[in-house]
Amino acid sequence: MNERESGGPGHDVSGHDVSDGYDYVVVGGGTAGCVLAARLTEDPDCRVCVIEGGPSDVGDENVLRLRNWINLLESAYDYGYTTTEQPRGNSHIVHSRARVLGGCSSHNTLISFLPFPEDLDEWVGMGCAGWDPVTVLPYRRRLQNTIVPVGEADRNPIAKDFVTAAAEALHVPVIEDFNRRPFPDGAGFFSLSYDPATNHRSSASVAYLHPVLDRPNLTLKLETWAHQLLPAADGRLTQVRVRYADGSTGTVRAERELLLCAGAVDTPRLLLLSGIGPANQLRALGIDVRADLPGVGENLLDHPESVIIWETHGPLPPNSAMDSDAGLFVRRDTTQPRPDLMFHFYQVPFTVNTERLGYPTPPYGVCMTPNVPRARSTGRLWLRSADPAEHPALDFRYFTDPDGHDERTIVEGLRLAREVAGTAPLRDWLRREIAPGPGIRSDEGLSEYGRRAAHTVYHPAGTCRMGAADDPLAVVDPLLRLRGQDGVRIVDASVFPTMPSINPMVTVLLAAERAADLITGRPGPTPEGSER
């Protein structure tokens, strides 16, 4: 590290102007940015600067202790983006985006799934050559995170009984390790990126950056917010305007490439503020158009879910990794190899949305959250103004797919959750159903409740999607290079052309590991026939 601030480890306070350039500038010290910074600085002659809008997570128990994740939502560690009016969904969802080193891997529950091979096959079918499962999945051998099934000491008895009841009621297998091989359905404890002995995260920052913070070729600019990309003298888009914590501004220059890793909200936001996006929208805001790229901000994806809540007979045993340690996957369409319905089982009553609808909050409770793995509703993101400080508009258009797939998935999920809850040994814990309540049984009633109580698992993606040269809405090519601009790549969930069926953090890690090879020209891991 070139210079350190007395306030904490890993802070850089070098000049606030273009006094020094770097080989690579990584915009966003989140899940992907940490991987790139660590991998690129393995070459001691390669100078890397990471620009991160939030503070360091080093030594911060609020962040490092996994079970504290729920207290990070809508806190000083959260940008807290709101959604636009959702006529068929819940308009009150706050989309938490992490404001801390490590990004959402320092903020989320660290549920860790390899993507299904078919998820990656879909990408290839959309023109993303080189992102097939035989190429991508072997990168799991390079991941530095400690990814393990929930530790035995963290396995709460009611979560164990949920797994048993789900397997019995729905005739699915109990899965000991969801990452051992692809699965069509099953119930079990999740794999998490954490240390079961300490409950500390094995986030991207902990796993990749903390061990290398003393590298002299690595510079972190924390509490530093990037708001505009600028061309250098050679015309390449390799400079970024930033605002520092003290309110001063400066420009940081990349001599090789800018690597945008700010996530599916802030990466397209940065492009739009820089005049790259749908030209008519930009002109209407008075932003000079640098490039008419109509796909920037389009294809906004998410994993929507709803909730069904039960009061328990009394308090639950206290042990847990992060209060949502077990889950369930169901395959309703047996012609397909992947599950099409997912449940998280929360060992706390998640009532943030049901209270708004007038439902009581039980003193003790649990819930299941039916989730749509491959939602067919897609939305868009756009700027409300040219003011960099104003949050963008996020319109996920939840439950608007024309064939009703997403709505139907939630309704069927609520029904299946009741079957699990009515099966021993889980039923012996439960006193009564709180929301939606046993009186709501029709498809129409369950749909109305399910959509109004819907929430997010905080998985926005797709807003700078990767695609072939003839894809009019593709923003990056399969080498992750920004279309029509020299010097910029995007490496985060915004490049996903479709949403992985499962929690996407590991897919981001794999993409970042692959991106490091694409950037440096290093060979990837040897393909394995067993990956398919």
DSSP codes of every residue in 138-207: GGGGG--S-EEEPPGGG--HHHHHHHHHHHHHHT--B-S-TTSS--SSEEEEPEEEEETTTTEE--HIII
The arithmetic mean of pLDDT across residues 339-358, rounded, is: 96
For residue range 443-472, list pLDDT tens digits in order.
999 999 999 999 999 999 999 999 999 999
What is the rounded average pLDDT for all residues in the chain?
95
Total-model pTM? 0.95
Q: What is the mean pLDDT of residues 295-319?
A: 98
As annotated, the active-site residues are: 459
pLDDT tens sequence across 166-200: 999 999 999 999 999 999 999 999 999 999 999 99
For residue 104, report the phi and psi dihedrals to the nearest 5 degrees.
Answer: -70, -15
Work out the average pLDDT over 331-350.
Answer: 96
Question: For position 11, what pLDDT does the model report?
Answer: 35
268: in domain: yes
Is 488 among the domain residues? yes
pLDDT for 429 beyond 80:
yes
- Phi-psi region for residue 306, left (φ > 0), alpha (ψ -120 to 50) or beta? beta
Say if residue 8's pLDDT is above 60: no
Question: 489-521, pLDDT tens digit by residue?
Answer: 999 999 999 999 999 999 999 999 999 999 999
Domain-located, residue 42: yes
Give mean pLDDT, residues 16-30: 82
Is 173 a member of any domain? yes
* CA gap 51, 227 in Å, rounded: 11
Who's near 309: CB < 8 A, 6+ residues apart? 349, 350, 351, 354, 359, 362, 365, 366, 367, 433, 434, 435
pLDDT for 63-102, tens place per residue? 999 999 999 999 999 999 999 999 999 999 999 999 999 9
3-state class of 229 per DSSP?
Answer: strand
Q: Is residue 442 assigned to a domain?
A: yes
Confidence grade of residue 152 (pLDDT, cut at 50, 70, 90): very high
Number of domains in the chain: 1
How many whole angstroms from its chain centre is CA 466?
17
Dihedral sign for Cα atoms in the order 137, 142, 144, 146: positive
Sign of CA dihedral 113, 118, 119, 120: positive
* 196 occurs within a structural domain: yes
For residue 74, being part of any structural domain is answered with: yes
Residue-wise pLDDT for 409-425, tens only, equals 999 999 999 999 999 99
Using the predicted structure, report yes or no on whether residue 6 has a pLDDT greater than 80: no
How confident is the model over 152-170, as a mean pLDDT?
Answer: 98
Quickly state the pLDDT bin for 20 (edges 50, 70, 90): low
Instruction: Give dist(CA 488, CA 244) in Å, integer.
Output: 22
pLDDT over 50 (residue 121): yes
Distance CA 504, CA 491 (A): 14
| Rounded Cα gap, residues 260 and 278, in angstroms | 19
Average pLDDT rounded to a whole number, residues 365-372: 98
For 229-269, the pLDDT digits (tens) are: 999 999 999 999 999 999 999 999 999 999 999 999 999 99
Q: Which of 6-20, 32-46, 59-73, 410-424 has the lowest mean pLDDT?
A: 6-20
Give the pLDDT of residue 19. Answer: 46
Task: Tell me the pLDDT band of 529, cut-offs 50, 70 and 90.
Answer: low
Q: How far apart are CA 461 and CA 297, in angstroms?
A: 10
**Domain boundaries, position 480:** 16-520
* CATH code at position 240: 3.50.50.60
- Show Cβ contacts of residue 235 under 8 Å, excluding neighbours closer than 6 positions: 486
Q: Considering the domain boundaries, does residue 167 fall inside one?
A: yes
- Residue 58 above 70 pLDDT? yes
